[in-house]
Amino acid sequence: MVESQPRRGTRRRRTRAPAGTVPLSQRAAELGMTTASLRRYANLGTVTGQVTRVGNRVYVSRDLTANPRRARRRNADTSVSGRQASLTRETSETRVSVEINLDGQGRYAIQTGEAMLDHLLAQLARHGLIDITLTARGDAIPDAHHLAEDVAIVLGRALRQAIGDGTGIRRMGSAMAPLDDALAQAVVDAGGRGYAVVHTGLEGARVGDMAGELVSHFLERLALEGGLTLHARVLSGSDPHHKAEALFKALARALRQAVEIDPRATNQVPSTKGTISG
């Protein structure tokens, strides 16, 4: 059997965008989204506007927008939209409100009343490319234990909600981060199993106005509420501030890697069980 061959001198025609459309990647950049995220919404049909496929290329109308499906839980001040989530929790000790966007650009507006806690949380946002808006107020307990713990609880729950069923995420991430004398490492599995092994070397130290023990306690509560398996440790260093900040930067980078959409598995849940939702 003889296979047909293209005639010599013939050229493949360039694929032209249909009238009134632009490449999906261009529209994603205009919306401040990743191409993978916008493609996922288009595949699910949760967009407003025209989607046209020409061969392997995807073109969309110039005014196309994503319309993520919303889900609400009963008896909770909670909303989830795409890879975004917001949550408010109020107790007799604290009131914490959080909004996050996993597909953000690292923007943050954080006010807890504890400057060092604000500074550490800013590292999660900036280096994790997670937009975080967080406000919190706590009781008059001077060691900020209730405040730090409850911020970790609410932020962890918001992370879990934003991750959702985990479709398309890489799931695991690891990173090391230095800060002058300090070097820290974090390894994360966003697989729905809350577990933490944290070694900071900050016991008995002060990190700003915070007790050093609160750093490890915060990370443990964040992992448990966020459904994260977290191994975090300070490898070296002497300055408590540097050690804590390096650890949060390492966590941010590892978390960023874990929740990123894997372009090779955009429609797959990264588990042989078929679920990471518990």
For 179, residues 6+ apart whose C-beta sits below 8 A from its C-beta are: 237, 242, 243, 245, 246, 249
pLDDT higher at 254 or 68 = 254
Please report which confidence band the pLDDT of residue 4 belongs to, taking 50, 70 and 90 as the band edges: very low
SS3 100: strand
Q: Output the six-digit token pair for 115.
A: 């400057």
pLDDT for the residue 15: 63
Share of the chain above pLDDT 90, in %: 63
Distance set, CA 178 to CA 13, 115, 237 (Å): 51, 21, 9
Return mean pLDDT, the chain.
87
For 109, phi and psi rounded to 5 degrees?
-140, 100
> What is d(CA 30, CA 14) in angstroms, rounded to the nearest whole number?
24
Please report which confidence band the pLDDT of residue 78 belongs to, taking 50, 70 and 90 as the band edges: very low
User: In the predicted model, what is the mean pLDDT of residues 186-194?
Assistant: 96
Comparing CA positions, the residue from 80, 76, 74 lying closest to residue 90 is 76
Comparing CA positions, the residue from 236, 273, 230 lying closest to residue 252 is 230
Q: Where does residue 261 rank: exposed (0-12), middle (13-18), buried (19+ CB within 10 A)?
A: buried
pLDDT for the residue 140: 67
pLDDT at 95 over 60: yes
Q: What is the CA radius of gyration of the chain?
A: 22
Four-CA torsion 224, 226, 232, 234, nearest 10 degrees: -100
**Per-residue DSSP letters for 182-240?**
EEEEEEEE-SS--EEEEE-S-TT-EETTEETHHHHHHHHHHHHHHT-EEEEEEEE-S-H
Q: What are the pLDDT digits (tens) for 231-276?
A: 999 999 999 999 999 999 999 999 999 999 999 998 899 999 888 8
User: In the predicted model, what is the mean pLDDT of residues 73-83?
Assistant: 51
